[in-house]
Amino acid sequence: MDSLSRHRLFSARREAEGYLELGLPDQALRSLQRRGKLVHGDGHGCYLMGEALREMRRHDEAVIPLRRSLELIPDDIHAALALAWCYKRCGLLQNAIEVLQQALEIEPGEAILHYNLACYWSLAHDRRRALQYLANALEIDGNFRDMVHYEPDFDPLRSDPLFRSLTGSC
């Protein structure tokens, strides 16, 4: 890539990041789309495009750039989390689980990966795996305990005695 292309890509990414910080995903997406091929060949650019689409609740469309981002940067857990989040909302729960399992191989100490896997296994009605991943998340970062009470993904487990014990629910 020549220096002019690098500059254009850097500018588009910076502009998109600014728009996303301001809560303007439409503008972020337009900024990235103007640089089409450059963005498609850049992992971070694809991630930003996926994030813009995700914030616009266009989850099925967000899957494409987020998958591309992971192809280009396979160890990017943020892209993995965003992709799994979109898969879940597209009704592809098993795909979401697979993406996070792969991310966990790269970053086994990331509590958010364990937590989200616990959520997804709960939705899949796999009590054992859900509780295992939740226990791991809470061991790594006890602050997740506060989130459990408001997380609807755990509704299938709310009456489970081990879940209640693990989370401190009465």
Reported as a single tens digit per residue, the pLDDT across 116-135 is 999 999 999 999 999 999 99
Nearest-angstrom CA–CA distance, 22 and 59: 20
pLDDT band at 5 (very low <50, low <70, confident <90, very high): confident
Which tens digits make up the pLDDT trace of 41-50? 999 999 999 9
> Taking a C-beta distance cutoff of 8 angstroms, is the pair 13, 48 a contact?
yes
Burial of 3 (C-beta count, 10 Å sphere; 0-12/13-18/19+): exposed
CA 94 to the chain's CA centroid: 14
Which pair of structure tokens corresponds to residue 22? 């301001």
Which pair of structure tokens corresponds to residue 112? 């958010």
125: left (phi over 0), alpha (psi -120 to 50) or beta: left
**CA angle 141–142–148, rounded 5-degree value:** 110
User: How many Cα atoms occupy the beta-carbon half-sphere of 97 within 13 Å?
Assistant: 16
* pLDDT above 80 for 61: yes
* pLDDT above 70 for 170: no
Burial of 71 (C-beta count, 10 Å sphere; 0-12/13-18/19+): exposed
Q: Give the mean model confidence (pLDDT) for residues 76-89.
A: 97
> Taking a C-beta distance cutoff of 8 angstroms, is the pair 110, 104 a contact?
yes
pLDDT of residue 47: 98
> 0.75 exceeded by the pTM?
yes
* pLDDT above 60 for 154: yes
Nearest-angstrom CA–CA distance, 118 and 64: 25
Which tens digits make up the pLDDT trace of 7-34? 999 999 999 999 999 999 999 999 999 9
Nearest-angstrom CA–CA distance, 95 and 102: 11
> Taking a C-beta distance cutoff of 8 angstroms, is the pair 55, 20 a contact?
yes
CA dihedral 137, 140, 144, 145 (to 10 degrees): 90
* pLDDT above 70 for 139: yes
